[in-house]
């Protein structure tokens, strides 16, 4: 089984179109140690031909150009993407659906009831797409136990796991959360029993979610912010990381306890990878002290086109 990271940045990408933070300035200037990243998405396949797209980023066309394996070219119109699954209804995870409107059959869309509701109301992509390829909704269970199987990917098991993060700002659920606004995805290679857990938005580690993290061989989790007040300190936003549903890498006192690094330190996973990195995060400087600290804790940073074999 292969997981390909299509986009490793958070919403906005790296660099972000209107941002002149020190990271965005440095990557635009092609300074050593800075690598551009597109917005949040992965693809999963067992046979290298049939792929599940997990999240549909606004950068999907660029991501597909960089991923020839997702275009097997078996006919005049073709794609390796057999279905799309959404972890939430955030703009950076859903707007790529519009870029797939030319599909010749209705798209197979796996998402929870609350995500489907948001995409039918606040951001009505579903009704828009009904005038193009159309969408078949495949509801995701939210009990954290039930596996769903995707007919074209019989060798992989997928278990959506509800978690605490945030519904998008346009959603009525932003301030009155419901189960299924955000999920993580436990992906199992049935042939080897090996598992990966993907959770690009993860605001709080509940005991239930901690148990799922403990069970995974590979963790691909929320790496949005280094500190809780990152956006506030830069004067870019009034929102703290928690208001946006993201657990920062460091805790309140600047140490690793209370942050994602402390959580990952408790995990037996063989690979611990941060994904969905915001452009303000100092770990994007490959030569900086924050990145060195991650490395000392055995934590990797996802990059576009990273491949994980499991």
The rounded radius of gyration (Å) of the Cα atoms in the chain is: 18
Q: Which of 41, 112, 165, 279 binds Zn ion (CB under 5 A)?
A: 279
**Residue 279 binds which of ligand MLT, Zn ion, Mn ion, none (CB < 5-8 A, kind-dependent):** Zn ion
Contacts of 165 (CB under 8 A, 6+ apart): 88, 181, 182, 201, 202, 203, 204, 222, 245, 246
Q: Considering the rule CB under 6 A, would residue 10 count as an interface residue with ligand MLT?
A: yes
* Cα three-residue angle 309-8-59, rounded to 5 degrees: 115
Contacts to ligand MLT from residues 64-93, by CB under 6 A: 90-92
d(CA 283, CA 147): 34
Contact in structure between 113 and 139 (CB atoms under 8 Å): yes
Cβ at position 237, least distance to ligand MLT in Å: 10
Q: Considering the rule CB under 5 A, would residue 184 count as an interface residue with Mn ion?
A: no
Residue closer to Zn ion, measured from CB, 132 or 303: 303
Residue closer to Zn ion, measured from CB, 22 or 178: 22
Contact in structure between 203 and 25 (CB atoms under 8 Å): no
Q: Considering the rule CB under 5 A, would residue 240 count as an interface residue with Zn ion?
A: no
Residue with tokens 């997981």: 3
Residue, CB closest to ligand MLT: 11
Residue with tokens 């200037």: 29
Total site size for Mn ion, rule CB under 5 A: 4
Q: Which of 19, 221, 269, 273 binds Zn ion (CB under 5 A)?
A: 19
**Residue 19 binds which of Zn ion, ligand MLT, Mn ion, none (CB < 5-8 A, kind-dependent):** Zn ion
Residue closer to Zn ion, measured from CB, 67 or 237: 237
Phi-psi region of 73 (alpha: psi -120 to 50; beta: other; left: phi over 0): left
Q: How many CB atoms are located within 10 Å of the residue 269 CB?
A: 20
Residue closer to ligand MLT, measured from CB, 21 or 91: 91
Residues that bind ligand MLT (CB under 6 A): 10-11, 90-92, 201, 244
Interface ranges with Mn ion (CB under 5 A): 10-11, 90, 92
């Amino acid at each position: 089984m292969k997981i390909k990271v299509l986009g490793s940045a958070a919403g906005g990408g790296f660099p972000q179109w209107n941002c002149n933070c020190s990271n965005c300035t440095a990557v635009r200037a092609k300074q050593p140690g800075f690598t551009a990243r597109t917005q949040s998405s992965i693809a999963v396949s067992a046979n290298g031909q049939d792929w599940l797209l997990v999240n549909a980023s606004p950068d999907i066309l660029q991501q597909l150009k960089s991923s020839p394996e997702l275009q097997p070219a078996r006919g005049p119109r073709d794609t390796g993407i057999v279905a799309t699954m959404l972890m939430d209804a955030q703009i950076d995870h859903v707007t790529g659906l519009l870029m797939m409107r030319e599909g010749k059959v209705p798209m197979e869309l796996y998402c929870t009831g609350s995500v489907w509701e948001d995409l039918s109301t606040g951001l009505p992509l579903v009704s828009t797409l009904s005038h193009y390829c159309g969408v078949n909704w495949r509801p995701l269970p939210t009990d954290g136990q039930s596996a769903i199987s995707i007919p074209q990917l019989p060798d992989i098991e997928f278990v959506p796991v509800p978690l605490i993060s945030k519904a998008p700002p346009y959603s009525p659920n932003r301030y009155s959360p419901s189960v299924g606004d955000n999920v993580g995805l436990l992906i199992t290679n049935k042939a080897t029993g090996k598992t990966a857990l993907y959770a690009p938005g993860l605001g709080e580690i509940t005991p239930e979610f901690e148990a799922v993290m403990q069970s995974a061989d590979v963790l691909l989790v929320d790496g949005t912010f280094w500190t809780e007040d990152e956006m506030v300190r830069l004067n870019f936003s009034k929102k703290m990381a928690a208001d946006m549903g993201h657990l920062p890498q460091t805790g309140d006192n600047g140490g690793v306890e209370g942050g994602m690094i402390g959580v990952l330190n408790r995990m037996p996973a063989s690979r611990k990878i941060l994904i969905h990195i915001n452009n303000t995060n100092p770990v994007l400087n490959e030569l900086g002290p924050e990145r060195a600290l991650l490395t000392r804790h055995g934590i990797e940073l996802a990059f576009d086109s990273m491949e994980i074999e499991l």
